[in-house]
Amino acid sequence: MKFIKLLVALFISNVLFAQSPFEIIKKADEKMQGKSNRGTMTMTIVRPKWTREVTMKTWGKGTEYSLVLITAPARDMGMGTLKRQKELWNWQPSIDRVIKLPPSMMMQSWMGSDFTNDDLVNQSAMVTDYTYELLGDTLIGKYDTWKVALIPKEETAVVWGKIEAYISKDDYFQMIFKYYDEDDYLVNTMIMSDIKKMGNLTIPTKMEMIPAENPDQKTILTYSNFEFDIELADSFFSLQNLKRLR
């Protein structure tokens, strides 16, 4: 009898646990990042009269470590950024120089795009820097999704007032993120699509960031050749590798 009670308790807690908004976000994040990852990303800035493309190689591990190296265009080729916990460095091969960046740089637009440095190297902070609330269910296309509100914790340097995340119930795919400012105005909408198997994970491989004020402009981020859960030591994320990788 005790055994059955224990099983039931375990079952109930499991169900509750699986549906806690924190757990939804955590699973969705793990699904997108893996424990570690390596791949190529292309960023396209789209404006009514022009577009620009930047290609980069990226390495990431958990929420703490990331390294981004620009491979095109020629003008910026070889430039790199290393992030370790709260520290951020920039490598400029033309002047043979590593420059330590102030933390305030995290909130700046990345190369004139609709993404901030923080969006690019610190995406996983959504697991650590927020409190969570389950707002309900919504249908997006053929996907039944949870709608979760992420409210930044007070002590964190998050720029948003609130984020609304839409996560698919079946596979924890991140579908839509809506970013609101502190006055509750919608600032940016991120739409994820092109769900594909990449490495050992099935993930959305295209993200579009659309500013609410200028709906005719956007920034598209496309993942290619990504591998997940690879061997990457913490020591890989070093200044010497920032200078050496190519």
Partner 1 sequence: MISQASFLTFIKNTQLNFFFSFFELHRRTVYGYIFSIVLLMTSFTAICQEDEDEKKLLVNGYIKDMVTFTFQEDVDSALTENLIHNRINFQWFPTEKLTGKLEIRNRMFTGDGVKTIPGYAQLLDVNNDYFDLSLTTKGDRVVIQSMIDRAYLQWNEEKWQLSVGRQRINWGVNLAWNPNDIFNAYSLLDFDYEERPGSDAIRYQRFIGYAGGYEFAVKMADSWEELTAAGMYKWNKGNYDLQVLGGVMQNNAVLGGAWAGNIGLTGFKGEFTYFNSLDSAKGNAFLTSITTDCSFPNSLYLNGSILYNSYSKNVAGLGFSSTANLDVRSISSTKWSAYLQSSYPFHPLLNGSLMVLFFPGDDGVLFGPSLTYSPVTNLDFDLISQLYFDKSQPDAYLVYGRLKWSF
Q: How far is the CB of 109 from partner 1 (least distance, A)?
A: 5
Q: How far is the CB of 55 from partner 1 (least distance, A)?
A: 7
Regarding 237 and contact with partner 1 (CB under 8 A), the answer is yes
Stretch that binds partner 1, among 8-16, 18-26, 27-35, 108-116 (CB under 8 A): 108-116
Q: Regarding beta strands 143-152 and 130-140, do their DSSP bridges make them parallel or antiparallel, or are they unpaired? A: antiparallel
Regarding 153 and contact with partner 1 (CB under 8 A), the answer is no
Q: Which is closer to partner 1, CB of 23 or CB of 181? A: 181
Q: How far is the CB of 105 from partner 1 (least distance, A)?
A: 5
**Footprint of partner 1 on 42-101 (CB under 8 A):** 45, 47, 50, 52-53, 55, 71-75, 77, 84, 86-87, 89, 94-101
**Footprint of partner 1 on 215-234 (CB under 8 A):** 234
Q: How far is the CB of 188 from partner 1 (least distance, A)?
A: 13
Q: What is the DSSP string of the chain?
A: -HHHHHHHHHHHHHHHHHHSHHHHHHHHHHHHH-SEEEEEEEEEEE-SS-EEEEEEEEEEETTTEEEEEEEESGGGTT-EEEEETTEEEEEEGGGTEEEEPPGGGGGSBSTTSSSBHHHHH-GGGGGTSEEEEEEEEEEETTEEEEEEEEEE-TTS----SEEEEEEETTT--EEEEEEE-TTS-EEEEEEEEEEEEETTEEEEEEEEEEESS-TT-EEEEEEEEEEES----GGGSSHHHHHH--
Regarding 156 and contact with partner 1 (CB under 8 A), the answer is no
Regarding 159 and contact with partner 1 (CB under 8 A), the answer is yes
User: Judged by CB under 8 A, which of 13, 14, 20, 108 binds partner 1?
Assistant: 108
Distance CA(128)–CA(79), nearest Å, equals 29
Q: Which is closer to partner 1, CB of 37 or CB of 168? A: 37
Regarding 160 and contact with partner 1 (CB under 8 A), the answer is no
The conformational region for residue 184 under phi > 0 = left, psi -120 to 50 = alpha, else beta, is left
Q: How far is the CB of 157 from partner 1 (least distance, A)?
A: 7
**Helix 21-33 and helix 2-19: axis angle, to 10°?**
70
Q: How far is the CB of 139 from partner 1 (least distance, A)?
A: 35
List of residues contacting partner 1 (CB under 8 A): 45, 47, 50, 52-53, 55, 71-75, 77, 84, 86-87, 89, 94-105, 107-109, 112-113, 157, 159, 234-235, 237-240, 244, 246
